[in-house]
Structure 1
Amino acid sequence: MDIVNTPQHTSGELVLRPGDPGYEGELAGFQTGFARRPDVVFAAASADDVVAGVRYAARRGLPVAVQATGHGLPGPSTGGVLITTRRMDGLGVDPAARTARLQAGVRWGQVVAAAAPHGLAPLNGSAPSVGAVGYVLGGGLGILARRFGYAADHVRALDVVTADGRLRHVTRESEPGLYWALLGGGGGLGVVTGLETGLVPVATLYGGSVSFDGSRVGAASALRAWQEWTRTVPDGLTSSFAAVPYPDLPALPEALRGRYVVSVRVAYTGADGDRAVAPLRRIGPALADSLREMPYAESHTIHSDPDVPHAYYGDSAVLRELDPAGAGALLARTGPDAGGAPCVVQINHLGGALAAPAPNSVPHREGRFLVRVLTSGDRGAARERLDAALAPLAPVTIGRCVSFAFGTGDRTKGLHDAETRKRLAVIRSQYDPANLFRGSL
């Protein structure tokens, strides 16, 4: 195995309490909108440190939460034990087996860079700064998802510290119930300290985005054109539609300032990229067009997600189909004329390999589209805006995406069907009978 990086520290946990030097800094993450005030922080640099943190909490009956990069925090929390894992940055690539072994603090950008020299790629998401392990545990809807499925579908093994303070090496064969529940179950089962996942033989792809002035071409019209186009594309092509009302601020590029920008983002493993995207270029005059052949190491430029920590609230809806009237109402309620804090909308095209069954609890594989809405400002007002935005889609909504529910209430509501919820509850009662990991739900 090609060892790319190893942790700087291998033992001796750093324990922090309110008022200690370093306490505030340890809580900092990408999401700045939610206050976490745990009684004790275990800044883990190894699996042994995680074991120590879990055993400490278990002896005192304290709830346990986990934080790596802090991108997907469910909301504010007070008390209990927080285990931070960002120091656990060990990463190894096995080119012959096409696998990567990564610890809990590794970010996707590190994995992409480590795999690229071997002509391989992980099933990462759009932002290189996101923690890889947390992303995979939430299912992992990546930029090549329609070609290869969910990132969770490619996990070979996981190392997890359960509520009894035991470090377990979990595979589909060794503990099938726990393996199934960890991948897509919504948390509450332990602290995953690392995992082994498959890599795919992709060195280059055709990708990028094409953007339009939504006020000029009509945001709803552009969305309909994209939706019709998705009915014609092969499984090797993954795309999303985004609508962003940019404020009129001097700090923004002239092309974006004060505009309602709608974009289509594309990632394609086929050889006929320009032909495949030709209908998109006919939507209207483009503000920008970055569609091109690129090394996989440049795939983060497709979405160009912000890399500056900030506050945000978000929610999602998995749809059986994208109803044109409902989608139009969604855009009307989130566009520049809607009032209140601006909303960012992203709609992902699902299907393809995402619909294939897998031995994990990732839900709603029958979904055809995923709608995600982000907003900011006051928490109560944000919840109202999100509810109003998603309400027109209710007739075609089959559930939510647990990895896209930020600070707006019960993040597990609507995630799984009744049978799956029941099975998850049985497994949680088996591995965490005292509900120690209630802080991770």
Structure 2
Amino acid sequence: MPEFAELRARISSPVFTPSDPGFPDETTGFNLAVTHQPDAVVVAENESDIAQTVRFARENGMPVRVQATGHGATEPYTDGVLVITRKLDRVSIDAQERTATFGAGVRWAAVLAAAAEHHLAPITGSSPQVGAVGFLLGGGLGPLARSHGFGSDYLRELRLVTGLGEIVVANYTEHPDLFWALRGGKGGLGIVTQATIELIEADTLYAGSLVFDEPHIEQALRAWVDWSASAPDEVTSSVALMRMPDLDLVPPPLRGRHVLSVRVVSSGPVDAGPELADPLRQAAPVYLDLLGELPTSRLGLVHNDPTDPVPVWDHGMLLTPIDQDFASALLGEVGPGTEIPVVITEVRHIGAGTKIDVDEGSAVGGRNSDYSLAFIGMEPELFETVLPAFADRVSAAVAPWVSPELTINFIGRTTSPDRVAKAWPSDILNRLTEVRHRYDPEGVFPYGY
């Protein structure tokens, strides 16, 4: 193992090793189930220090990995250097060009707030606490997916450090092969330090959720399945079967309940929203009506994902068009009266805009699917055996509707190279591998393809 005193002498950013006070705090991300134990952690304060760190690691034959918020952490890092980018947290808006430029440590909440001041909005993820760059590198499916496509479709430029320790700009004209790969290719391509995205004009949306209590879950779910099949392209929706624990961290109206949350986001006229959602409201008695006009800066309220770090296990897949037989199969596994080990079972309606690639092409996988299915568990003692077995059982029950493709941000916890590879069509995967070797010929950035 090299002496990290040399690295400390080469950069101004803090360097932590396992014996240093503060090391555990710096390695801890959003997912508390994953504890990293690398040889060293660099809390990057600037781009040049990241470049120097990569050069140092390359010279010493060490792998380099990166973390902003830790939402995407699935397996612990046990060697090499972990670069933390959370301090790269500046956001700037160019209202005339309708773009946002932000550092690698920025969360969507900051971009939403800054853009809203100019009556603009990003194509964001469901959680404002997720790191914007990590979301975009994996394509990014959010609450505007059907109306506007993948988040990475709105990338305009990226700055990054390659595996050679070089700082480069990737856009339509500079390193276009790398730009193509970064729009959906996820990891192993470099450490992004800054991103520029296009924004859309939006102040408010008709958005939110309708919550149905356990006796009415089946009626509401079946109504949503039919409703979503004919929903206009401007509408993105999802359902979440939630078995909420009886804990203080859960809002009192949901504490200890088994409910169905139907989420709706329409980019169409706000005054047309009530009529649009009327079939859902009429399907069954509504326990909580949280659907109405919503400022884009508060878009995170639609999914209402946790804001504080928690232990998380998740598993996802994509689906072909679903029907009432699918609803029956899913309800038989996770519906009222069943005992399930997960907190959330979620089905999202995608398609429409997500099926249309950008003109110049991108590395996004999963464009041919119509829905997604995901399971989320939060009890660590169940992560290794109980939850994987549960996911396998439900997957088998809905097998007729499971798509042969995946998308990398929804893949969940896995160490299987075969499963990771399925996140892209074979032609995209082959091209990704070529681009990765071009910019990281020695494999400084480990990744699963």
Find the residue that maps to 2:120 and give its secondary structure: coil
8 A Cα contact 2:316 2:412, kept in partner = no
TM alignment of 1:110-129, pairs within 5 A: 110-129=110-129
Q: Secondary structure at the match of 1:380?
A: coil
Q: How does 1:67-216 map to 2 (within 5 A)?
A: 67-213=67-213, 215-216=214-215
Task: State the alpha-carbon separation in 2 of the partners of residues 139 and 270 from structure 1.
Answer: 24
In 2, the alpha carbon distance for the partners of 1:240 and 1:340 equals 20
Counterpart code for 1:385? F
- CA–CA distance in 2 between the matches of 1:405 and 1:357? 20
Unaligned runs of 5+ in 1: 1-10
Contact 1:313 1:379 in 2 (8 A): yes
Aligned alpha-carbon RMSD (Å)? 1.8
User: Does 1:368 find its partner at 2:370?
Assistant: yes
Q: Does the CA contact (< 8 Å) of 1:116 and 1:203 recur in 2?
A: yes
**Structure 2: distance between partners of 1:319 and 1:340:** 21
CA drift at 1:174: 1.7
Rounded to whole Å, the distance in 2 between the matches of 1:120 and 1:267 is: 16
Q: Aligned partners of 1:255 and 1:390: how far apart in 2?
A: 31
Distance 2:428 2:71 in 1: 26
Cα distance in 1, alignment partners of residues 166 and 91 from structure 2: 22
Corresponding letter in the other structure for 1:367: S
Rounded Cα–Cα distance in structure 1 between residues aligned with 2:237 and 2:72 = 22
State the percentage of identical aligned residues: 38
Task: Give the direction of change, closer, same or farther, for the CA distance of 1:54–1:332 in structure 2 (3 Å limit).
Answer: farther
Contact 1:327 1:393 (8 Å CA) reproduced:
no
SS at match of 1:168: strand
Match in the other structure for 2:37: 37
Separation of aligned partners in 2, 1:39 and 1:402: 27
SS in 1 for 2:404: strand
Q: Which residue of 2 aligns with 1:428?
A: 436
Deviates more, 1:357-366 or 1:128-137: 357-366
TM-score by length of 1: 0.93
Q: 1:14-413, aligned counterparts within 5 Å?
A: 14-213=14-213, 215-219=214-218, 221-249=219-247, 252-271=250-269, 272-335=272-335, 337-339=337-339, 341-358=341-358, 359-376=361-378, 377=380, 378-381=382-385, 382-396=387-401, 397-410=403-416, 412-413=420-421
* Structure 2 unaligned spans of 5+: 1-10
Counterparts of 2:316 and 2:323, CA distance in 1: 16
Give the aligned partner of residue 8 of structure 2. Answer: none
Tell me, what secondary structure is at the counterpart of 2:170? strand
Residues in 1 aligned to 2:329 and 2:141: alpha-carbon distance in whole angstroms:
25
TM-score between both structures, scaled by the size of structure 2: 0.91
**Whole-angstrom distance in 1 between the partners of 2:57 and 2:399:** 40
Partner residue, 1:4: none
Q: What's the counterpart of residue 3 of structure 1?
A: none
Shift of 1:260: 1.4
* Cα deviation digits, residues 150-173 of structure 1 (max 9, x gap): 110011111111100001100122
**Could you say if the C-alpha distance between residues 69 and 250 of structure 1 is closer, same or farther in structure 2, counting changes exceeding 3 Å?**
closer
| Deviation of the 1:322 alpha carbon | 1.8
**Aligned equivalent of 2:6:** none
Tell me the amino acid that sits aligned with residue 384 of structure 2.
G
Residues 411 and 423 in structure 2, CA contact (< 8 A), matched pair in contact too: no
Residue pair 1:379, 1:408 contacting (<8 A) in 2 also: no
CA contact (8 A) 1:313 1:405 kept: no
Query: Greater shift after overlay, 131-140 or 326-335?
Result: 326-335
Amino acid at match of 1:287: Y
Shift of 1:209: 0.3
Contact 2:16 2:40 in 1 (8 A): yes
Contact map agreement 1:65 1:440 (CA 8 A) in 2: no
Cα distance between partner residues in 2 of 1:128 and 1:140:
13
Whichever residue aligns with residue 363 of structure 1, its letter is G
Alignment-mate amino acid for residue 443 of structure 2 = N
Deviation sequence 1:378-434 (CA, Å, 0-9, x none): 332222222222222333322223113343323614211222211111111211121
Q: Does the 8 Å contact 1:330/1:390 carry over to 2?
A: no
Most deviating of 245-254 and 119-128: 245-254
Cα pair distance change 1:434/1:263, threshold 3 Å: same
* CA offset digits 1:137-160 (Å, max 9, x no partner): 111112112111111001111111
State the one-letter code of the partner of 2:430. K
- 8 Å CA contact retained: 1:64, 1:80: yes
